[in-house]
Amino acid sequence: MSLIFFEDFQVGETRDYGDWLIDEAELLDFSAAYDAQPFHLDAAAAKKTILGGLAASGWQVCSALMRMMIDAWLNDSSVVAGIGIEDNRWLAPVRPGDRLTAQTTTVEKRDLRSRPDAGIATFATSLRNQAGQEVMTQRIAMLFGRREKLVSPAAAAPRRPPASPPPERIDDPAGAMPEDFPRARVGAYAELGETLFTADLIRAYALKYDPAPFHIDEAAGRAHVLGAMSAAGLHTASCWMSHFVAARLRLGRLQSRASPGFRDMLWRRPVLVGDLLAFSTQVVAKRETSKEGLGLITSRNLGVNQRGEVALEFYASVFAPIGDEPISPAI
């Protein structure tokens, strides 16, 4: 089959694909490794939470979508690397036994003066369950090789404006991961923990969710443009989540927290075999919501390698109770 190059993508075109089963055993395995909150692990406990029952981690749903893309069309393309996820919204819980399908629309193409052999394409995806209910939307940018190099690249399309600079850092783990909305403190910062990205760790995730050769084989990684086997971008984000949950537990934060999504996720540096990422979180905003008894806390989250370089950056939001812990149906 001939490859899909950057030139072949047409703005406005759509792709329908997928039939991904959310297997309960896999749901529990992923949650235990990366998102060990009760509503992802314990069916009885989950009934008393905001999700109203056992549900897949949002990070697993994102990972499943990536694998669906790879199986349906990315594997037959000239994709070089993911750039980042501009916007991701979790709209409804994904339950064990759900079957997911996707529709992806090409929404933007951008030439690169620095890479006449490649360009960036942006895709918007709607993910639905077997009942036709939309459970997630995502807007992601990827780098693709061109069939032919540009001789004189046209002016690049304007980039999205950068996020506002974070507030002044205040070392305050309790304020960065509060028990409730009133105790969230804008500027509060917490170090979460570190992950050493070994070949085995990278490969185990990639074989299930992102089996690009440069994620699963060290020789293929050395032959890739990055020069070494590298971790999938969503794997690094899932590792951030595992440390966030563990850090909350160390503070005695036993209640689960549901999230409506994240934005402006950038994979700024590749994460290669042997890299050690230190993860952190900082509250950058908080506001009350239209949901009774719930506020929304927004954080800036980082993964910084052993050289002091930011490899992962994104902004995430989480619901927190304004008063007593809410016991309500799924968001």
Please indicate, yes or no, whether the overall pTM of this predicted structure exceeds 0.85. Answer: yes
In sequence order, the 6+-apart residues with CB closer than 8 A to the CB of 313 are: 264, 265, 266, 268, 300, 301, 302, 303
- Residue ranges covered by each domain of the chain: 1-149, 163-331
| Percent of the chain at pLDDT exceeding 90 | 80
- Specify the pLDDT at position 10: 97
With contact defined as beta carbons under 8 Å apart, do 59 and 241 qualify? yes
Of 323 and 32, the one with more pLDDT: 32
pLDDT band at 329 (very low <50, low <70, confident <90, very high): very low
pLDDT bracket for residue 330 (50, 70, 90): very low
Give residue 158's pLDDT.
54
pLDDT tens for residues 247-301? Answer: 999 998 877 888 999 999 999 999 999 999 999 999 999 999 988 889 999 999 9
How far apart, in whole angstroms, are the C-alpha atoms of residue 32 and residue 116? 43
What are the pLDDT digits (tens) for 74-124? 999 999 999 999 999 999 999 999 999 999 999 999 999 889 999 999 999
- The correct answer on CATH 3.10.129.10 for the domain covering 1-149 is yes
**pLDDT per residue as tens digits for the range 181-223:** 999 999 999 999 999 999 999 999 999 999 999 999 989 989 8
- pLDDT-derived band at 48 (thresholds 50, 70, 90) equals confident
Say what the pLDDT of residue 166 is: 85
Q: Which residues pair with 188 in a beta bridge?
A: 170
Q: What kind of architecture, by CATH, is found in domain 163-331?
A: Roll (3.10)
The predicted pLDDT at position 168 comes to 93
Per the prediction, the chain carries an average pLDDT of 92
Instruction: Tell which residue, 241, 318, 316, 249, has the closest CA to residue 279.
Output: 241
SS3 229: coil
Is pLDDT of 327 > 70?
no
Q: What is the pLDDT of residue 156?
A: 53
Asked whether the beta carbons of 294 and 326 are under 8 A apart, the reply is: yes
Domains 1-149 and 163-331 in one fold: yes
